[in-house]
Amino acid sequence: MANRRKNNRSKEKETDWQERVVQIRRVTKVVKGGKKLSFRAIVVIGNEKGQVGVGVGKASDVIGAVRKGVADGKKHIVEVPLTKSNSIPHPTYGVGTGAKVMMRPAAPGTGVIAGGAVRTVLELAGVQNILAKQLGSDNPLSNARAAVSALAALRTFADVAEERGISIEKLYS
């Protein structure tokens, strides 16, 4: 019995998914008896190999909120096409509520030039060379969602060629 439990734990640790808590907020709901206190956690989950997701969890304790946030993040995972230089294939723009995020590919050695929640999303997606700018709202949840929508809008040359029904060589000419 104890041996089986150890095996389960080792399997959990071997996964390449990383999770980072972007924000924990104490929120209250006014009810008839007074104020009900709960916590909201914004969690970014990614494997640094082109997959990333943003999740939100709410619970009466912080640990429960983070756990729910991770589960929500796993449900909202997007694939990010990365180039050989661990950058994005083309400039992109994403919108999430009042936040707008602009992203541009960068030369090798540039690093991740981004701030706040957008930086966390890009790092966990596995992007290593990129320029990003948050425009509009400074809300971490909106900016994280805008970053994910920008990454979801990315397409590779192969995708575009396949969509148009032509070869990649014809796409260049």
Q: What's the CATH number where 46 sits?
A: 3.30.160.20
Model confidence at 55: pLDDT above 90: yes
Model confidence at 9: pLDDT above 70: no
Domains of the chain: total: 2
In a domain, 169, yes or no: no
Model confidence at 6: pLDDT above 70: no
pLDDT in tens, 91-109: 999 999 999 999 999 999 9
Choice between 74 and 13, residue whose per-residue pLDDT is larger: 74
Q: Which of 13-22, 47-56, 73-82, 122-131 has the lowest mean pLDDT?
A: 13-22
Asked if 45 contacts 19 with a C-beta cutoff of 8 angstroms, the reply is: yes
The alpha-helical segments, DSSP class H, found in the chain are: 2-14, 62-75, 116-125, 140-152, 157-164, 168-172
In a domain, 172, yes or no: no
**pLDDT band, very low/low/confident/very high, at 7 (cuts 50, 70, 90):** low
Residues 29 and 93 in one domain: no
The terminus-to-terminus CA distance of the chain in angstroms comes to: 64
Q: What range does the domain containing 155 cover?
A: 80-160
Average pLDDT in the 44-66 region?
95
Residues 7 and 19 in one domain: yes
pLDDT in tens, 145-165: 999 999 999 998 888 888 888
pTM for this model (two decimals): 0.87
Mean pLDDT, the chain, as a whole number? Answer: 90
Model confidence at 117: pLDDT above 70: yes
**pLDDT band, very low/low/confident/very high, at 172 (cuts 50, 70, 90):** confident
The pLDDT, as a whole number, for residue 16 is 86
Instruction: Report which of 128, 135, 54, 53 is spatially closest to residue 93, judged by C-alpha positions.
Output: 135
Q: What's the CATH number where 114 sits?
A: 3.30.230.10
In a domain, 173, yes or no: no
In a domain, 168, yes or no: no
Alpha-carbon separation of residue 78 from 8, 44, 50, 117, 121 (angstroms): 27, 12, 8, 16, 11
